[in-house]
């Protein structure tokens, strides 16, 4: 029997989180659990929010999403900007609605910025300043983003340690916060509280035992995406005429490298190699971040799914679901 919407029992329903590096099978695990348990999937993926980014994001098929509820998928046009703040607001709205239906939200994904915003909260940061950003962009054009990353490392070593030296968007924002507030971004972030703080949270992370095996799987998956029409998907986005390499959607791993090929910046074979290398680097960053920033129960994607699925179903039954 389901607890009535708005009841104390409904308010105490848990939030489930399944994370892990790209290519470990998180979505497949979540879908199979949703087929047998009263959970609804909430995407924690900065690329799945965009319509038209389907093959390169391994987006679940539309027919499957019509049958099994997925939230925060296909909610933006690729020309739109989607922020961590907007994600938190959308995610918390979805979580509240799922709980009101007497079901359990299953957060699935590995976008580190979104996970941090949910697990640690969002700092009350200043609004973006077009003037400051133009000044930072001009300095980056002269010296390069790695040089500005080095500047950030002097101003805010903690924030710089979490940001890739070529991640222009995050370097720009961190420097902007320092210049606008006179305080470090990392200090402001420590003063925040998680929006999930009052909810029971169960978190798991898929972590492959073999790094070479993960690399093989990521390469195989990239080639499978190409065989399924990934390049044609990126070409269709490129031909729209209103998108550039600066849009957040086109900075997604795989899209960025194929976009460079379509712009004539490299050959196709090189773009593929760059895409596979970028996917491996993303997986490495995700694993490093998750080990340092989260406290999930670690699972082996090769052997632990059956027990995870069984134990989750048992726990939900104990809650009367």
Is 130-190 the same fold as 8-122+201-318?
no
Give the CA dihedral 164, 167, 171, 172, nearest 10 degrees: 180
CB 39 within 8 A of CB 33: yes
Coil, helix or strand at residue 104: strand
pLDDT for residue 292: 82
Q: What is the pLDDT along the chain (321 residues), one digit of tens a residue?
A: 344 444 434 448 999 999 999 999 999 999 999 999 999 999 999 999 999 999 999 999 999 999 998 999 999 999 999 989 899 999 999 999 999 999 999 999 999 999 989 998 887 777 778 899 999 999 999 999 999 999 999 999 999 998 988 889 899 999 999 999 999 988 887 777 889 988 999 999 999 888 899 999 999 999 999 999 999 999 999 999 999 999 999 999 999 999 999 999 999 999 999 999 999 999 999 998 888 877 789 999 999 999 999 999 999 999 999
Tokens of 155: 């101003």
Helix ranges (H only) for the chain are 8-11, 26-34, 62-67, 84-100, 112-120, 130-143, 145-155, 157-161, 168-181, 185-190, 211-227, 230-238, 255-262, 268-293, 305-318
Tokens of 21: 């590096």
Query: Which of these CATH numbers, 1.10.510.10, 1.20.1260.10, 1.10.1740.10, 1.10.20.140, describes 130-190?
Result: 1.10.20.140
Domain extent listing, the chain: 8-122+201-318, 130-190
List, in sequence order, every residue forming a beta bridge with 43; answer none if it has no partner.
108
pLDDT for residue 281: 95
Span 8-122+201-318: which CATH code? 3.40.50.300
List, in sequence order, every residue forming a beta bridge with 105; answer none if it has no partner.
40
pLDDT for residue 7: 43
């Amino acid at each position: 029997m389901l607890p009535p919407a708005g009841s104390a029992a409904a308010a105490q329903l848990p939030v489930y989180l399944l994370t892990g590096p790209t290519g470990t099978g998180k979505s497949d695990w979540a879908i199979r659990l949703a087929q047998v348990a009263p959970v609804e999937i909430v995407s924690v993926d900065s690329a799945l929010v965009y319509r038209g980014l389907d093959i390169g994001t391994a987006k679940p098929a539309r027919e499957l999403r019509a049958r099994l509820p997925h939230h925060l998928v296909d909610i933006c046009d690729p020309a739109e900007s989607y922020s961590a703040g907007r994600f938190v607001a959308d995610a918390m709205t979805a979580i509240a609605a799922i709980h009101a239906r007497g079901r359990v939200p299953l957060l699935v994904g590995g976008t580190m910025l979104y996970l941090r915003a949910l697990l640690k909260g969002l700092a009350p940061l200043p609004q973006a300043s077009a003037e400051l950003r133009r000044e930072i962009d001009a300095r980056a054009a002269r010296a390069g983003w790695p040089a500005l990353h080095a500047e950030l490392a002097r101003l805010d070593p903690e924030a710089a340690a979490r940001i890739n030296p070529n991640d222009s968007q995050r370097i720009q924002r961190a420097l902007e916060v320092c210049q606008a507030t006179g305080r470090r971004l990392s200090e402001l972030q420590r003063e925040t509280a998680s929006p999930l703080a009052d909810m029971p949270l169960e978190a798991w992370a898929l972590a492959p035992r073999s790094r070479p095996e993960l690399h093989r799987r990521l390469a195989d998956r990239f080639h499978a995406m190409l065989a399924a029409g990934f390049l044609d998907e990126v070409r269709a986005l490129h031909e729209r005429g209103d998108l550039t390499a600066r849009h957040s959607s086109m900075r997604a791993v795989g899209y960025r490298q194929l976009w460079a090929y379509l712009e004539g910046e490299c050959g196709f074979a090189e773009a593929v190699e760059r895409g596979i290398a970028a996917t491996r680097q993303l997986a490495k960053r995700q694993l490093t971040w998750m080990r340092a920033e989260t406290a999930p129960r670690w699972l082996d994607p090769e052997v632990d799914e059956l027990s995870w699925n069984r134990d989750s179903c048992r726990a939900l039954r104990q809650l009367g679901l």
